[in-house]
Structure 1
């Protein structure tokens, strides 16, 4: 297995990643156009434009939305397929390592680790392969495109919206690091649970140890939930402050005649367009950090399995020679 997570991503197919990235570019470019059409519809309606002109704009809006939706459908299916290909590869790799190790002395810990990889760990690592490159490209592209459009319409209002997101650059990495530490501990505990199940040791101490591990998993999961949902709460609060800024500043500009009502509506829609990709980008970053931890543990487990297998093969001829002597 490659040393890094992104080495594994490219192992699964560079040309697929290029194709997915191209679809992502089309999607974020198509996602900005409806904002301008929406603004023109509202301004045309408030200015008393002919209904036929408004209807043409509405049809153009529907066409753009349909294009965006179909492109996103294709992108999601493609990413899901490449992710499942990676999951299948990891599971087959773990099965192959398990088969090799079965030829030598049975190691309950190794079997428990391989069982955990096949059943649970491969799913999240392989699933990340499909979104590893296209997701940040798509969401960052939407942020840049929509942000540039908002700056073009009203720079001061765009600045007020941007300030809202700055604090998240500080607290998100810190809270995610805390989650990562708990995820690594959780994977280790789950592997010990699998090891104990493979050993089939039916003693009171073994049952008590398994019970302690289950309680440990419960505590770790609750700790992760608390950090994760606190992070979500803080991010949502920042977004609502952005809406408040648009209402306050936009209302002032409309009252003083410095901007049109359509611009304020476009900013409200624009903030929704920015909020979603920003949240998706944060989720991708969180998945990246967690998946890097999981991938490293899977790679180390497979490397250890291969090393043990090679050591057993090396020792077997020596043992046979000793028996002959």
Structure 2
């Protein structure tokens, strides 16, 4: 299975075929072989992300026990080598993922541009259909195609890091590891709830922008056209502000859970050190591990947000191409 930069392209996976019904079906059709490579790279990054935590723990314990500079230097060199290997693997994965994403954007734009009627059979004028097609090519194809590159590898990478780090922490000290459940348990509840509210606003925003695109072509110069467009822009502004408020409120709650987790680890871990049930290096490893888990958890939540919004966009695109939605975003009546 050749890497992408060594593989020649002949046509596109969508030539002469309808769009897949599901977003992940699109991702698989556009990049099935590439997803295998990306998943392998993601697994490698996840495994390499855990090893430096163990090296940190050993360095702290060796320093406290005065084991000698030779062993500390060797551990420091090992740590540097692991970080370098993990960084280079992640760099390759990111570049490859970006290539897959941009290829997906290019294929989608070509597909829509090559004579696709966004609303065949609907009672909409040519200007409205043209405005919808322009909106899909310019604005809507990019986030959908970009998601193709991260559809499988991103959640596998972030979930893999979390599973490997949490498993390691449970092995070190099961009692303190229970703190992680208290940190991330509530987020499993409030993140999906807030995201659903964001999705509703994202779909309304897409429909409003389609109306604005069509209005530029069909309403320009007509009576009241300026007021109509200003009303649409105001609507988009309100929807965007609603998304920002929800998004940043969710970030605040996630960060608060993380900081409370650190406080509990320091308290419980410090008590365990005093009574001789654990080592200082273990407490340091837990704090480092919690920081290591925070980034992939945030990234996983971001991926989930992106997936939900992109799926809503893609559903609208498929329905529009199939003629079940008019240029303004209204659902066409079923037969």
TM-score normalized with structure 2 length: 0.88
What's the RMSD between the two structures over aligned residues? 2.0
Confirm or deny that 1:197 pairs with 2:197. no
Corresponding position of 2:322? 303
Out of 33, 36, 44, the position equivalent to 2:62 is 44
* CA distance in structure 1 between the aligned counterparts of 2:117 and 2:323, rounded to whole angstroms: 14
1:199 CA displacement: 2.0
* CA distance in structure 2 between the aligned counterparts of 1:176 and 1:206, rounded to whole angstroms: 34
* CA distance in structure 2 between the aligned counterparts of 1:161 and 1:304, rounded to whole angstroms: 48
* CA distance in structure 2 between the aligned counterparts of 1:100 and 1:143, rounded to whole angstroms: 42
1:106 CA displacement: 5.7
Runs of 4+ in 1 over 2 A off after TM superposition: 97-102
Corresponding position of 2:148? 129
Confirm or deny that 1:145 pairs with 2:170. no
1:203 CA displacement: 3.0
* CA distance in structure 2 between the aligned counterparts of 1:254 and 1:9, rounded to whole angstroms: 50
Confirm or deny that 1:54 pairs with 2:72. yes
* CA distance in structure 1 between the aligned counterparts of 2:274 and 2:242, rounded to whole angstroms: 48
* CA distance in structure 1 between the aligned counterparts of 2:148 and 2:98, rounded to whole angstroms: 9
1:98 CA displacement: 5.0
Confirm or deny that 1:83 pairs with 2:101. yes
* CA distance in structure 2 between the aligned counterparts of 1:39 and 1:100, rounded to whole angstroms: 59
1:50 CA displacement: 1.3
Unaligned 5+ segments in structure 2 are: 1-18, 328-335
Q: Is the 8 A contact 2:116 2:321 kept in 1?
A: no
Unaligned 5+ segments in structure 1 are: 309-325
Corresponding position of 2:52? 34
Q: Is the 8 A contact 1:32 1:145 kept in 2?
A: yes
Q: Is the 8 A contact 2:118 2:322 kept in 1?
A: no
The one-character-per-residue Cα deviations of 1:50-79 (angstroms, maximum 9, x if unpaired) are 101110110000000000000000000000
Out of 183, 187, 193, the position equivalent to 2:202 is 183
* CA distance in structure 2 between the aligned counterparts of 1:8 and 1:78, rounded to whole angstroms: 18
Task: State how 1:243-322 maps to structure 2 within 5 Å.
Answer: 243-304=262-323
Corresponding position of 2:83? 65
Structure number with larger C-alpha Rg: 1
Q: Is the 8 A contact 1:41 1:57 kept in 2?
A: yes
1:100 CA displacement: 9.6
How many residues matched?
306
* CA distance in structure 2 between the aligned counterparts of 1:180 and 1:165, rounded to whole angstroms: 22
* CA distance in structure 2 between the aligned counterparts of 1:198 and 1:61, rounded to whole angstroms: 60
Confirm or deny that 1:226 pairs with 2:245. yes
* CA distance in structure 2 between the aligned counterparts of 1:219 and 1:200, rounded to whole angstroms: 23
Higher helix share: 1
- Decide whether aligned partners of structure 1 residues 287 and 99 sit closer, same or farther in structure 2, where only a CA change above 3 A counts: closer
The one-character-per-residue Cα deviations of 1:178-212 (angstroms, maximum 9, x if unpaired) are 11010000000000000011225213401100000
Corresponding position of 1:318? none
* CA distance in structure 2 between the aligned counterparts of 1:250 and 1:101, rounded to whole angstroms: 62
Corresponding position of 2:12? none
- Decide whether aligned partners of structure 1 residues 256 and 201 sit closer, same or farther in structure 2, where only a CA change above 3 A counts: same
